[in-house]
Amino acid sequence: MSDNFDPQALIERFAERAEAVRKRNLPAVGGEERRLFIEQAERDFMDYAMLGDATATLEDGILTLRIDLRPADS
């Protein structure tokens, strides 16, 4: 891996992807295809948003992403 790798930049890119999915327009499809598109967009948003909220550490060439999944009130 490159010595220039920036874990925080990786996290920021995932946060940007989550926002892009959230703003994504629905294509002109209907029925089953529409439902599948929406379900995929929801999964994409959840995945990208979780990674966009991660805390990254890079130690000895090992990237660790820590994601707190506890409810906000705890």
Residue 40 pLDDT: 94
Residue 27 pLDDT: 82
Residue 4 pLDDT: 85
Residue 2 pLDDT: 59
Mean pLDDT by 10 residues, the chain (74 residues): 83 96 88 92 95 94 93 78
Dihedral over alpha carbons 8, 39, 20, 24 (to 10 degrees): 180
pTM exceeding 0.85 = no
